[in-house]
Structure 1
């Protein structure tokens, strides 16, 4: 039985992945903010068990293999607590899917004094990937799937002001997070060459709602277009399932099932070191 950890696993594609892996008999740890949504997910979980002597298929409940860790991953304290709990309760982790999302169009400071999007979309992922490195290493074929859409400029990170106290924009913040997550893949695979690390984004629209501060116009447009042309989350995650079930060591990037180019810069190694130093300085 594999252990699959999914952040943002109560909604959309994260929930679709959780349903799939509970159905095939794996242990699934969902990290999220909404206990009620998790209970609804767990209530529907069932997986085919071994066939009996008569050849008939019986079913066992997946509820016992579904675990929930309540956390807001825009909180450094919650992110650290999640890492500690996972380390305490699991000796190995086969797949870590980083899918938590809360879109903010404007700069927002958390109660801890950090820019919320930077923490949610990168710092929490850094803490999870590095904090769980030995648990991933203990698995036979470990993989991290990071739903940070691949592809952005190599110079997208503002190392002097990553919280963007000056000149914040959604586009700048998004590009910075995406680049930082690609560098995180370089760090993670350098430390464990057996690890598969994939930055992944969907190909086209997915029939799921935006979570966050996106305004009624964008939500309505997404709902209408998604209903017309969007893929159901259960279909959209099929490429992720294929990647998890047959991981290839090293870094890769995909849009849907199609490989995407990895961004390379002249100073990748130096930039990785600067990111690590920044985390140690500002978030430990």
Structure 2
């Protein structure tokens, strides 16, 4: 039996993945902000006869303190973590700053992934075949990173913010695997393709229309789930790998520049300090 932790696990692909693992008889920890959605996952688990195999942790992962609380809860409760799926994100048409002073997307889509990955690495290394799956958009141009304004204090544009967060995930994967060179954890960056999921967020009129079309055009959740499970069930041999749908992305290329990864790591450590 594996222990699987899923952020963003109360919606779409995350929820489907949680239920898949429950059907297999695994222990699942789902982290999400919405109590009603969390209860819906618990109810679904009960229907499967797996209520004893799931825990829902309600937490706002855009807050540093909440990430640390979640890490503390998991490490105190579960001796081993086999799989960590980083899927939490939330689209915001307008800029929002958390009570801790961070731009919300930067905090949720990047800082949370940083904190959970590093916070759970020791428990992951106790597993037979540990894997971290970061659902992002690997590859692309490093020039999209606003090094002098990572949190978009000026000229906020939601699509640019989300694109930059995907790039920060790439660099996080690089710095993570370099920081733990002897770890057995496999860090996988994956964009499973446009999927007809919940697209949770706060949208203006224009972006809501775009999202509606995306829902119509997106692949079924089951198709994305197949792509995700392919990497979770058979983790790649290399410490870091990246995929756009079924196509491998070269993690030795410019988008995964080591100097940029180190630069981001230093900035992040200073911010969290």
Q: TM-score, normalised by structure 1?
A: 0.87
| Preserved contact between residue 131 and residue 232 of structure 2 (Cα < 8 Å) | yes
Displacement of 1:221: 4.8
Report the equivalent of 1:232: 220
Q: Quick check: 254-263 or 146-155, which moved more?
A: 254-263
Report the equivalent of 1:56: none
Whether 1:206 aligns to 2:199 is: no
Report the equivalent of 2:184: 194
| Preserved contact between residue 174 and residue 256 of structure 2 (Cα < 8 Å) | no
Change (3 A) 1:163 1:263: farther
Whether 1:275 aligns to 2:233 is: no
Report the equivalent of 1:55: none
> What is the alpha-carbon distance in structure 1 between the residues aligned to residue 65 and residue 10 of structure 2?
21
Report the equivalent of 2:16: 16
| Preserved contact between residue 172 and residue 265 of structure 2 (Cα < 8 Å) | no
Structure 1 unaligned regions, length at least 5: 48-59
Displacement of 1:224: 5.2
- Superposed CA RMSD: 2.2
| Preserved contact between residue 154 and residue 264 of structure 1 (Cα < 8 Å) | no
Q: Bigger radius of gyration, 1 or 2?
A: 1
Q: TM-score, normalised by structure 2?
A: 0.90
Instruction: Map Cα deviations across residues 49-77 of structure 1 (whole Å, 9 max, x no partner).
Output: xxxxxxxxxxx721111111111111111
Structure 2 unaligned regions, length at least 5: none
Whether 1:152 aligns to 2:137 is: no
Q: Quick check: 108-117 or 4-13, which moved more?
A: 108-117
Change (3 A) 1:37 1:267: closer
Report the equivalent of 1:182: 170
| Preserved contact between residue 192 and residue 228 of structure 2 (Cα < 8 Å) | no
Show structure 1 runs of 4+ deviating over 4 A: none
Secondary structure in 2 matching 1:140: coil
> What is the alpha-carbon distance in structure 1 between the residues aligned to residue 208 and residue 250 of structure 2?
30
Secondary structure in 2 matching 1:16: helix
Change (3 A) 1:262 1:112: same
Secondary structure in 1 matching 2:129: coil
Displacement of 1:84: 1.5
Secondary structure in 2 matching 1:4: strand
Name the structure where helix makes up a greater proportion of residues.
2
Displacement of 1:46: 6.6
Secondary structure in 1 matching 2:149: coil
Report the equivalent of 2:244: 255
Displacement of 1:154: 2.3
Secondary structure in 1 matching 2:162: helix
Q: How many residues align?
A: 270
| Preserved contact between residue 152 and residue 178 of structure 1 (Cα < 8 Å) | no
Change (3 A) 1:197 1:266: closer
Change (3 A) 1:265 1:235: closer
> What is the alpha-carbon distance in structure 2 between the residues aligned to residue 277 and residue 225 of structure 1?
37
> What is the alpha-carbon distance in structure 1 between the residues aligned to residue 255 and residue 45 of structure 2?
47
Map 1:100-139 to 2 at 5 A.
100-139=88-127
> What is the alpha-carbon distance in structure 2 between the residues aligned to residue 274 and residue 224 of structure 1?
38
Secondary structure in 2 matching 1:135: helix
